[in-house]
Amino acid sequence: MTVDLSVDFCGIKHENPFILAPSPSTDNLELLIQAFESGWAGAVLKTVAFNSRIVSRVFPMVTRVEQEAAFIGLQNIDLVSEHSVETIEQNVRILKERFPNKIVIPSIMAFTKDDWQTLTKRFIAAGADIIECSIWHPHGTEWTLCTKVEEPVGTEQIASWVKEAAEDVPVVIKLSALDSDIIATAEAVERSGADGVSAINTIKSITGVNLDTLIPYPNIAGLSTYGGLSGPALKPIALRCTAEIAQKVDLDIAASGGITTWQDSAEFLLLGASTLQICTAVLRFGLGIIEDLKQGLESWMVEKGFQSLTDVIGKSLPYLVEHSWLPRGIQVVAHIQKEICDTCGACYTACRSGGHNAIIWTNGFPEVEADNCIGCGICRAICALNAIILIRPGRELKCSPLV
């Protein structure tokens, strides 16, 4: 069985759903050429402002975010592209001439109607397939436009300006999870006539504080600032935004935020995304991850019997309901699989700290007293080895785990 990874996004066919997100990787023409040659379907070029002279970088721009030495993301204080509009226009022309079937998406930022529309028209004339609008930026008051336009009315106005100038060329608006109501803003985008949304942008954050110097990271000559968080830490938030938008708004969705593996990719597609924008994973593992992403997704689709992405997109949305709709009265208890357990005791601590004291030690192993267990699942969530399953009481050997 063969599967078709091509997808229609905003009326334009993509050879696969994998798109480079706006980042340093998409601000370099040679890297973009390498990416297209290696199999990426397209790229969103690093955001360009109407007046590139306002860009003034500081270094270092990127810091690692970790928990107990495990990588969970990056924080950046990078700004928009340092290249001029003319340079980005030329890059668009070169890419479209060399790769006519790849999707080239300039990301634009402006402050007035004339500037938004001028940028739009110039990039369309250069050959852009889609225009993406970056309305929100997490760095500094001179870049943070959310106070002026992130609310639905302002977003709708900008989106309508850009769509008016773009005419038949699709327009995508990038949304932020920090919006007070991302669904209201997505509905405003829909009213504007724009074609899709990208969800989500990086999240305004602080990496941490150096406990010796007392200066927050990153340390820029003794000062610091807020940055944009990207990477795996964003995935649960981005999944939520993708699903909510897909359930409530009739717009194509480009998902972004924490996509690292083909499994992540499948999850976003199942929750309503049509394309997948990836940045942090590329910085960690290189442009070559595209092969693993495509092959993994293809193999999973074959296993599940999906012939095309049309069969996948949104498939999991019907299972998402309001809390009040969830079935009540189903009793489960925890069961510890001794063949997997390493007796670390994390489940015991969790149950004693926030559960119902249902886990005891027997002959050197933790064991669940079913009469005390209410099935809260805290112990299972804490277990790093996935040694704990939830089952119906009294059926440990006869039923599958409830997940």
Task: CATH number of the domain at 366, please.
Answer: 3.30.70.20
Q: Which pLDDT score is estimated for 144? A: 42
Q: Which pLDDT score is estimated for 1? A: 79
Residue 175 CA to its chain's centroid (Å) = 11
Indicate whether 366 belongs to any domain. yes
The residue among 319, 347, 382 that closes a domain is 319
Question: What distances in angstroms separate CA 212 from CA 30, 61, 209, 215, 217, one per listed residue?
Answer: 41, 21, 9, 8, 12
Give pLDDT tens digits for 302-333. 999 999 999 999 999 999 999 999 999 888 99
188 and 50 housed in the same domain: yes
Give pLDDT tens digits for 33-79. 999 999 999 999 999 987 755 567 788 989 999 998 899 999 999 88
Q: Which pLDDT score is estimated for 53? A: 53
The amino acid that residue 166 corresponds to is A
Task: Return the structure tokens found at 256.
Answer: 């972004």
301 and 344 housed in the same domain: no
Q: What is the pTM of this model?
A: 0.93
Name the nearest CA neighbour of 350 among 384, 378, 390.
378
- Which residues of the chain, if any, have pLDDT below 50? 141, 143-150, 396-400
Q: Which pLDDT score is estimated for 320? A: 97
For residues 133 and 174, is the Cβ–Cβ distance under 8 A? yes
Task: CATH number of the domain at 102, please.
Answer: 3.20.20.70
314 and 338 housed in the same domain: no
Can you give the residue range of the structural domain that contains 174? 7-319
